[in-house]
Structure 1
Amino acid sequence: MMNKLNIFSAGICLIGLGIAFPAYATDGYYLTGANARATGMGGVGIALPQGPEAATINPAGATFVDNGFEIGAQLFILNTRTTDLFFPGNDVKGHQYQPIPDFGVNYHLNDKVTIAVTSFGGGLGQSYNKPFVPGMGFSKERANFIQAGIAPTIAFKLRDNLSIGVGLGVVNEFFRARGVIVPTPQGPAQLPNHGWSHAFGVGGRFGILWKPVPAVGLGATYFTKVHMSNLKGYEDDLLAGLGGSIDTPEQFGAGVSVKPNDRLTLGFDVIRTNWSGVKAFSEQAGFGWRDHTTFKLGVAYGLMPGLTVRAGTSLAKRHFGSEFVLANVNTPGTSSKSLTFGFTKRLGEKDELTFSADYELNGKVVGTGHSAGTVIRSRYGFTGLSFSHRF
């Protein structure tokens, strides 16, 4: 067994690093949808503002929704099994139930100017049932990486059918890792547990939304890369070779929405995330996360007065190749396709309740190259609920 451990000592180090970056779904570590309304339509929202949280997806969307607030949460449910890790018969299992809150406030100062404050974020946690390397007194693998952001936004209506929006992405990261194993000349060793560490960064968010005719919307967004501060403690060991920080990637997208009649709405978004520009996820770090294009398609239908139903899908190429399975054992975002559905029920004249669900497909990855023999199987999804009120 020790011969096998020596052969795969580099892989052990990568897996130790991998604890830091558990991943969500088809969007890397981001949610399929920023809120329950968007999730129900596969994450669509760049050209289809819905509710007080619209500015999360496109800052310009704030001008096209009513005054109000929304608060909600999505629950992430994950079960993972990794087989033949390093050597035959070494199987580990993990699970996680992670609530992810979201909120938004939207207010029109006048006919031309709207302000909004919304939330965004990503990350995950993972807890395995035993150490990755058995019989050596190591701790069980466990980690949390939480990225929570606030986006203050101001949007300007240039014409009745055209708006632009600008804002800040104020990002806070919280990270802890336990049971991180690295190779040493004396054999595998476990790094110290530094507990929770915090990092901070600020980026820019920009958007435009145009409705050439009332039934058609065209939108585009650009979110800058955010350079985060160092994670204290981990900057000296786990993240020492990666600059000590975990930055957020540059992201841009475009969307279109069409409303053929009063009941039916169709939406399509395409989003590009430049993971390769973030050192912590790059091939240099061993994760091999590649630049990533996600296609989102959704439909909403007014089934009856006061009840809108939604369905959608999110499609992408997996953000890492099968040769990087070992490095991504703790990043269970193995799916490249998801199916979503949801509904919004009106409660009186000013209140609404929205439900959504997201199920990830094809959660199995068979390792190749240096990862040959290791297989990750993940079953996971989201369910969300939110309440909104118009002022």
Structure 2
Amino acid sequence: MMPKTRTTLTLALAALPLTAQATNGYFMHGSSVKAQGMAGVSFALAHDSVKAASNPASLIALGSQYDMGLTWFKPERDAAIGGNGFGLDGHYDGNAERDFWMPEAGFARMHNDRLAYGLAVYGNGGMNTSYKRTPFAAFGSSGRGGVDLSQVFLTGSLAYKLNERHSLGLGVTYVYQRFSAEGIQSFAGMSSQPDAVSNNGDDSSRGWGLKLGWQGRVTDSLSLGASWSSRIHTDEFDRYSGLFAEQGGFDVPESYGLGFAWKLDPRWTLAGDWERIEYSEVRSVGNPLSMAAPLGADQGAGFGWDDIDVYKLGVIFQVSPRLTLRAGVSHAEQPIPASQTFLNILAPGVIQDHASLGASWQFRPQQTLTVSYTRALEETRKGKNSIAAAFGGGETDLTMSQDIVGVAWQYRY
């Protein structure tokens, strides 16, 4: 396949609806297959042109290459309600849709010895729940219940080599979001726009943001990295302006982090990241569920999510010049307070721990195949004072686990 054809295919992927499942909140634990094999560790590494979007400074270390991949998700999400006075008690299986696919693509190119550029198309986050019967039927809702948030990110990046040890990167990100909700008609009575709460089909929004990155080799064996992604202000979801705060607002939160990569010997590398995700700054995500303001208002109810810190640790073992093995674990703080589990029946992003394995096989001089497997360990968030008396009281417990398998192909030239 000629370079022009590959680039066209990469751009075409931007039109695909990419649905992710909540991992670190609703952000992906790793946006490329190589990174997924290390539980997402990436800030001080140069995995591939897709993950370069998380730290554009890494483009300098990549050289020129094309990448394409596909990730399969199988999530298990469940909710249980007990002690409710309005008849909501029961176990609710949110897995009417079980299998999700996420493509990725990118390229990186050296313009000269000091300047590199690249483009990446990937999914960074999203959420899906699909209940065959809505958990809110006792309130007057009907049919299936759940939400579907799909996101695709397109990041164009530049990297500049300051000297033999340090590089800087700048990225511009375009995000396309698609959202739908069904089976929550009963919340219309709490809304400033009752007709824009549920069962309005798909709606979309768009926005732009910035990324900055640095990578530096501070000693012969130790490299460090830092990355910052701005909050992305997006258009409102007009069809759901009575559901989300700020008349349908759903911005992408700001995130930033630090990483290290320590080459223990020629074959072993130990690497780790710390990442901060500012969920609470987006009102539709961070505002708690309350009746102080109607749904859709500037201070309307949200999912009540907290900001989180994510800690990742991984290893790389170079078995031979052609075979590389990876493994990693990560731990995230819990974004959903125990008091906010009720509305999060729709968005049970309670996962905290991941364990990952990965491998890359260079089957031809210029081509490499990568595979990864991640287990998002089952997590249950038990509610505490989670259902207000106005909704009949009681508690909501949320449970989620995931299996994630990825495969990717890389061509270097």
The normalised TM-score by structure 2 is 0.84
Supply the distance in 2 between the matched residues of 1:161 and 1:75 (Cα, whole angstroms). Answer: 37
Say whether residues 1:91 and 2:94 are aligned partners.
no
Q: For residues 214 and 116 of structure 1, do their structure 2 counterparts lie closer, same or farther at Cα, with a shift above 3 Å needed?
A: farther
Query: After alignment, is 107-116 or 282-291 more displaced?
Result: 282-291
Q: Rate the CA distance shift 1:356–1:94 in 2: closer, same or farther, 3 A.
A: same
How far does residue 225 in structure 1 lie from its aligned partner after superposition?
0.5
Select the residue among 153, 157, 165 that pairs with 2:157: 153
Match of 1:316 in 2: 332
Q: Contact 2:215 / 2:225 at 8 angstroms: preserved in 1?
A: yes
Q: State whether structure 2 residue 50 is matched by structure 1 residue 48.
A: no
Note if 1:129 corresponds to 2:132: yes
Structure 1 unpaired stretches of 5+? 1-20
The match for 1:209 is: 215
CA distance in 1, matches of 2:179, 2:88: 32
* Partner residue in 1 for 2:227: 221
Distance 1:54 1:82 in 2: 33
Percent sequence identity is 25
Tell me the distance in 2 between the aligned counterparts of 1:229 and 1:244. 8
Within 5 Å, give how 1:268-347 maps onto structure 2. 268-284=272-288, 285-347=301-363
Q: 1:238 is matched with which residue? A: 243
* 1:80 counterpart (77, 81, 84): 77
- Aligned partners of 1:185 and 1:316: how far apart in 2? 36
1:12 corresponding residue in structure 2: none
Whether the 8 Å CA contact 1:46–1:219 is kept in 2: the answer is: yes
The change in CA–CA distance for 1:92 and 1:46 in structure 2 (over 3 A counts) is same
Query: How many residues were matched structurally?
Result: 366
8 Å CA contact 2:336–2:349 kept in 1: the answer is no
Match of 1:253 in 2: 257
Matched, 1:114 2:116: yes
Provide the secondary structure at the position in 2 that maps to 1:374.
strand
Measure, in 2, the Cα distance between the counterparts of 1:58 and 1:383.
Answer: 23
Aligned residue for 1:233, secondary structure, equals helix
* Equivalent residue, structure 2, for 1:200: 206
CA contact (8 A) 2:180 2:200 kept: yes
Q: Return the letter of the residue paired with 2:279.
A: W
- 1:23 Cα offset (Å): 5.3
Kindly indicate whether the alpha-carbon contact (under 8 Å) linking 1:52 and 1:66 is maintained by their aligned counterparts in 2.
no
2:56 alignment partner, one of 41, 55, 59 = 59
Task: String of CA shifts for 1:179-235, please: whole Å, max 9, x gaps.
Answer: 12334679xx99552211111100110001001233221110111101101112212
**Conserved 8 A contact 2:136-2:186:** no
Paired position in structure 1 for 2:399: 377
Q: SS of the residue aligned with 1:308?
A: strand
Distance change in 2, residues 1:34/1:22 (3 Å)? closer
Q: CA distance change for structure 1 residues 101 and 316 in 2, over 3 Å: closer, same or farther?
A: same
Is residue 166 of structure 1 aligned with residue 170 of structure 2?
A: yes
**Pairwise CA distance, 1:81:** 2.2
Does the Cα contact within 8 Å between 1:142 and 1:177 map onto a contact in 2?
Answer: yes
- Show the counterpart of 1:389: 411
**In 2, distance between residues paired with 1:208 and 1:258?**
16
**Compared CA separation, residues 171 and 142, structure 1 to 2 (3 A):** same
> Cα 1:54–1:365, aligned 2, differ >3 Å: closer, same or farther?
closer
Q: Is the 8 A contact 2:280 2:286 kept in 1?
A: yes
| Shift, 1:381, TM fit | 2.7
Q: How far 1:288 moved relative to its partner?
A: 1.6
**Which AA in structure 2 matches 1:383?**
V
Aligned to 1:104: 106
Alpha-carbon separation, structure 2, partners of 1:133 and 1:124:
19
Going from structure 1 to structure 2, the CA distance change for 1:185 and 1:360 (only over 3 Å counts) comes to: closer
Match of 1:14 in 2: none
Query: Contact conserved, 1:22 with 1:330, CA < 8 A, in 2?
Result: no
With over 3 angstroms needed to count, the CA separation of the structure-2 counterparts of 1:223 and 1:185, relative to structure 1, is closer
Q: RMSD in angstroms over aligned alpha carbons?
A: 2.1
> Following TM superposition, by how much is the alpha carbon of 1:360 offset from its aligned partner in structure 2, in angstroms?
1.4
Unaligned runs of at least 5 residues, structure 2: 1-18, 289-300, 388-393
Secondary structure at 1:60 match in 2: helix
Q: Quick check: which one's strand share is greater?
A: 1
What is the Cα deviation at residue 370 of structure 1? 2.6
